[in-house]
Amino acid sequence: MKKNYKKKILIVGAGLAGATIARILSEQNFSVRIIEKRDHIAGNLFDFINQNNERIHKYGPHLLHCNKDSVALKFLSRFTSWTNYEHKVRALLSDGRTTPLPINQVTLEDIFLKKFSSEKEVKNFLDSIRNRKLNPKNTDEFFEANVGNILADIFFRPYTEKMWGVKPEKLSISIGSRIPIRTNSDDRYFNDNFQALPKYGYTKMIEKMLDHKNIDLRLQTNFKIEMLSNYDHSFLCIPIDKFYNYEYGTLPYRSIIFEERKEITNDFPSSVINFTDKSPYTRKTQWDLLPNSEKSSSKYKTITYEKPCSMNDNPGEYYYPIQTLRSKNIYEKYKKLSQKEQQITFCGRTGLYKYIDMIPAVTIHLKIARDFLKKYDIN
Ligand X SMILES: Cc1cc2nc3c(=O)[nH]c(=O)nc-3n(C[C@H](O)[C@H](O)[C@H](O)COP(=O)(O)OP(=O)(O)OC[C@H]3O[C@@H](n4cnc5c(N)ncnc54)[C@H](O)[C@@H]3O)c2cc1C
Residue 355 CA from chain centroid, whole number: 7
Residue 127 Cβ vs ligand X, minimum distance, rounded to whole Å: 31
Distance CA 35, CA 18 (A): 9
The smaller minimum CB distance to ligand X, of residues 145 and 206, is found at 206
Residue 53 Cβ vs ligand X, minimum distance, rounded to whole Å: 22
The smaller minimum CB distance to ligand X, of residues 309 and 378, is found at 309
Residue 81 Cβ vs ligand X, minimum distance, rounded to whole Å: 18
370: DSSP letter: H
Distance CA 248, CA 250 (A): 7
Distance CA 17, CA 8 (A): 18
The smaller minimum CB distance to ligand X, of residues 90 and 349, is found at 349
Residue 369 Cβ vs ligand X, minimum distance, rounded to whole Å: 13
Q: Could you give phi then psi for residue 374, rounded to 5 degrees?
A: -60, -30
| Torsion 163-168-172-173 (CA) sign | positive
The smaller minimum CB distance to ligand X, of residues 60 and 158, is found at 60
The smaller minimum CB distance to ligand X, of residues 42 and 154, is found at 42
Q: In this structure, are residues 365 and 76 in contact, taking their beta carbons and an 8 Å threshold?
A: no
The smaller minimum CB distance to ligand X, of residues 105 and 348, is found at 348
Supply angle C-alpha 45, 333, 238, rounded to 5.
25
Residue 125 Cβ vs ligand X, minimum distance, rounded to whole Å: 31
Q: Which residues bind ligand X (CB under 6 A)?
A: 12-18, 35-38, 43-45, 59-64, 222-223, 237-238, 256, 319, 348-349, 356-358, 361
The smaller minimum CB distance to ligand X, of residues 52 and 203, is found at 203
Judge residue 371's burial from the number of C-beta atoms within 10 Å of its C-beta, 0-12 exposed, 13-18 middle, 19 or more buried. Answer: exposed
Residue 88 Cβ vs ligand X, minimum distance, rounded to whole Å: 13
Contacts of residue 319, Cβ cutoff 8 Å, sequence gap at least 6: 44, 59, 253, 254, 255, 256
Measured in Å, how far apart are the chain's first and last C-alpha atoms? 10
The smaller minimum CB distance to ligand X, of residues 4 and 274, is found at 274
Residue 124 Cβ vs ligand X, minimum distance, rounded to whole Å: 33
State which amino acid sits at residue 221: T
Distance CA 20, CA 378 (A): 17
Distance CA 103, CA 107 (A): 5
Q: How many CA atoms lie within 13 A of 60 on its CB side?
A: 18
